[in-house]
Amino acid sequence: MTFYVTTPIYYANSLPHLGHLYTMVVADTIARSKRQQGIETFFLTGTDEHGINIERAAQRSNRTPKEQADYVVSYYTKMTAAFGLDTAHGGYDIFMRTTNPFHYEGVSELWRRVAKAKTPKGNDALYKGHYEGWFCAACASYKTEDEYAAASAPGEPPTCLVHETKLDRVSEESYFFRLSDYDEALLALYERPDFVRPEARRNEVKSFVAGGLQDLSVSRLKTSVSWGIPVPDDPDHTMYVWFDALTNYITAIGFGNEQQERKIGFEKFWPALHLVGKDILRQHAVYWPAFLMAGGIQQPSGVYAHGMWVDPGGRKMSKTLGNTVELDVLNQYFSIDSIRYFCLREMVFGQDGRFGYENLIDRTNSDLASGLGNLSSRTLTMIHRYCEGRIPEGTVSDESRLAAKRAGVEDEMAISHFVSHARDEFLRDFEDFAFSRALEDAWGIVARADKMISDAKPWDLAKDAKQRETLNAVLYRAAESLRWLCVLLYAVMPNAAREIYKQLGMTGDVNRISPGELTWGGLSAGQAVGEVKPLFPRIDKAKTMEEIKEQTSDVRDQKSEKPEIADRQQAADAASPHSGTHLTEADAVPGVAHIDITDFAKIDLRVGEVKTAERIPKADKLLLITVDIGEEKPRQILAGIAQYYEPEKLVGRKIVVVANLKPRKLRGYESQGMLLAASVGDEGKPVIATFAEDVPNGARLK
Ligand code: MSP
């Protein structure tokens, strides 16, 4: 038996944020749990590297498209290692890139098959036609009906919802996939109740297909999109990026390439379970199955669409809105396990979830530090204190049973039943993708063990020689419950589970023990427990929130905020939550929203000369500079440029200062203005604006 799970492959035009990390965490958790059950598992993630958006992102950062993809992939490599999701940490088995030569081969093979195929209604699956549609030049993409606003006057073109610019009617030669012939076959496929999950999404997809399908344009002329895979035997055409991207799931394991097939095995691992955000369900549940039917390939084992992380105000996360949760910040303040736990506990899988750092801190402190962490440290500390550091005998002899009852300690059966019932519920919920409920089941065990300890008061029992067996039994049961928790929680929190397991004195890796095979009493009496180390240190909420706020506002100050575009992007998102053309950051290029000259005149921009510049302790992004802008005293400004500019090199330099910006405090220093810098590339590298000619300090920019 084998198992194959995939995340979407992420666009290589921008750096990932929590949303991208999330699907990886879920897939990683599922993969670990399957491996723990002894099932040979393959876990794929990767990047989607072709198409106009990557091309444009590359242009903006002065890179070739491949360099752009390499740059984003190098960030993914670092990020997945930091979060323990890479192969070296027992995470993904392949980081798939659509620029891999074996992928080109595999996609071309699928295209050829589709080109020869007949639809279920007996027509050619692929045909050449003319694609005509409303095209937004700024988005560089065709817009579907729900992505534009109808014209206000007859005869006028509609307007792009993102840019509010008029659309052009464009037509070009294109290959079409006869999707319209696949409606019945797809509806039959959706009869499989586990094909699209959850149920609400399945109904959504069903009614979309039942409403009638339009044929799908699956190529663009090379002259309009050149960064992509050429259509076999017709190199003037580039494949539609979704045809290319979706096919990665099969090329990765060897479809259409012998070497990859030998290395991994298409026959061995296909079909896959696809985990996707609900934003790309249509592509996975409609287009992909139809392509597979045409290619004569078995359908995926299922497509599971999860919800989106939104900010505490309910808005979708996007870099344009400046509300994304940056992975660097998460990594700096939170342990991998607490992030994983939070992701799975807080979001009801399938529904949207709100992400706030405050919630993350609260959950870490309550469920992990005070919950699981505290149960583990108090149990082990008492075993050290009262049992010379060895797991005590857990059985209570007949003679001592009455004493135990008197101390409020129940029969062992009661707790062993409770724990194994909780395990069964946990596994059932886990299988059902109800991770949040599964974790509640596991925390039922934490609460039960905690209560047992608080009721029995081992510290009192220890004072009474007649209660020796009762004391031992309580500690044994707590320790045994912890052993079960390690096995159950390994897939969600691999590091903490391993650590507690080790502290219990267990040898061997918890990742080899199948939760279904746990039996009560597996912990051996006499076994020496390890050193008690804190697992989840409490987080100082006020301090951490303050630091995070400063960090995230630093970053945002350096990135130009474009609220008007953001709002329109939101409007577009709201209008078309599952639209065929997926909005990406790269789509949200600056539009042409105009401001009045009086709006501009509100900003007091002055020439300044940097007088001093220094680093600030413990703030690796900030420089403290003083700038002469022709006032009595130089201004003090904090700028988030420390990673890009040596302080010494700034002194004497003429810069542009926003002089009437409200002063604010950062890291205990008042910042009395802002310097202007261009934000370059995806990492937003600042390049300070300066003058080619000599200008006096304080001169106004108009
Ligand atoms: N390249 C395509 C997918 C091709 S798959 C053959 C793409 N890439 S993407 O970079 O935009 O990633 C989209 C996926 O990232 C979502 O489906 C989801 O898995 C994840 N998320 C991105 N933002 C998210 C949230 N705010 N919340 C949860 N997941 C999100 O689409």
Distance separating alpha carbons of residues 230 and 249, to the nearest angstrom: 19
Read off the pLDDT of each residue in 124-148 and give the average, rounded to a whole number.
Answer: 84
In tens, the pLDDT along 214-271 reads 999 999 999 878 899 999 999 999 998 999 999 999 999 999 999 999 999 999 999 9
**3-state DSSP call for residue 619?**
strand
CA of 195 to the centre of ligand 1 (A): 20
In tens, the pLDDT along 205-214 reads 999 999 999 9
Q: Kindly give, in sequence order, each residue whose CB lies less than 8 Å from that of residue 135, ignoring residues fewer than 6 positions away.
A: 141, 142, 143, 167, 168, 169, 170
Task: Tell me which residue of 127, 201, 245 sits closest to 584, measured CA to CA.
Answer: 245
CA of 16 to the centre of ligand 1 (A): 9
Nearest CA to ligand 1 atom 13: 10
Percent of the chain with pLDDT over 70: 92
Q: H helices of 61-155, where?
A: 65-82, 101-116
Question: What integer pLDDT is reported at residue 477 of this predicted model?
Answer: 98
Nearest CA to ligand 1 atom 6: 246
Distance separating alpha carbons of residues 440 and 445, to the nearest angstrom: 9
Distance separating alpha carbons of residues 93 and 429, to the nearest angstrom: 26
CA of 311 to the centre of ligand 1 (A): 16
CA of 560 to the centre of ligand 1 (A): 24
The answer to whether the peptide bond before residue 198 is cis (omega within 30 degrees of 0) is yes
- Statement: the pTM of the whole predicted model exceeds 0.75: yes
pLDDT over threshold 80, residue 573? no
Cβ neighbours around 392 below 10 Å, total: 20
Ligand 1 atom closest to the CA of 584, numbered from 1: 11
Nearest CA to ligand 1 atom 20: 20
Ligand 1 atom closest to the CA of 23, numbered from 1: 19
CA of 408 to the centre of ligand 1 (A): 52
Ligand 1 atom closest to the CA of 278, numbered from 1: 17
CA of 238 to the centre of ligand 1 (A): 23
Distance separating alpha carbons of residues 553 and 662, to the nearest angstrom: 14
Question: What integer pLDDT is reported at residue 163 of this predicted model?
Answer: 77
CA of 10 to the centre of ligand 1 (A): 6
Question: What integer pLDDT is reported at residue 582 of this predicted model?
Answer: 27
Between 61 and 26, the more confident residue is: 26
pLDDT over threshold 90, residue 574? no
**Which amino acid is present at 673?**
G
**Which amino acid is present at 263?**
K
CA of 107 to the centre of ligand 1 (A): 21
In tens, the pLDDT along 374-404 reads 999 999 999 999 999 999 999 999 999 999 9
Nearest CA to ligand 1 atom 9: 10
Whats the size of the chain, residue-wise? 702
pLDDT over threshold 60, residue 588? no
With beta carbons less than 8 A apart as the criterion, state whether 426 and 488 touch.
yes
pLDDT over threshold 50, residue 102? yes
Backbone Cα Rg of the chain: 30
For a substitution probing ligand 1, which of 308, 326, 569, 583 has the most ligand atoms within 8 Å of its CB?
308
CA of 425 to the centre of ligand 1 (A): 30
For a substitution probing ligand 1, which of 10, 75, 304, 323 has the most ligand atoms within 8 Å of its CB?
10
Ligand 1 atom closest to the CA of 248, numbered from 1: 6
Ligand 1 atom closest to the CA of 275, numbered from 1: 19
Read off the pLDDT of each residue in 634-654 and give the average, rounded to a whole number.
Answer: 86
CA of 306 to the centre of ligand 1 (A): 10
CA of 346 to the centre of ligand 1 (A): 19
Distance separating alpha carbons of residues 452 and 415, to the nearest angstrom: 9
What CA–CA distances, in Å, run from 402 to 190, 315, 399, 584? 60, 59, 7, 68
Ligand 1 atom closest to the CA of 308, numbered from 1: 27
Residues with CB under 6 A from ligand 1: 8-11, 19-20, 22-23, 48, 245-246, 276-277, 279-280, 308-309, 316-317, 582, 584
Distance separating alpha carbons of residues 567 and 458, to the nearest angstrom: 59
Task: Tell me which residue of 453, 375, 450 sits closest to 409, measured CA to CA.
Answer: 453
Question: What integer pLDDT is reported at residue 586 of this predicted model?
Answer: 28
Read off the pLDDT of each residue in 590-615 and give the average, rounded to a whole number.
Answer: 72
CA of 92 to the centre of ligand 1 (A): 17
Read off the pLDDT of each residue in 333-351 and give the average, rounded to a whole number.
Answer: 95
Q: Kindly give, in sequence order, each residue whose CB lies less than 8 Å from that of residue 563, ignoring residues fewer than 6 positions away.
A: none
pLDDT over threshold 70, residue 579? no
Cα-Cα-Cα-Cα torsion 305, 162, 318, 438, nearest 10 degrees, comes to -20
Ligand 1 atom closest to the CA of 249, numbered from 1: 6
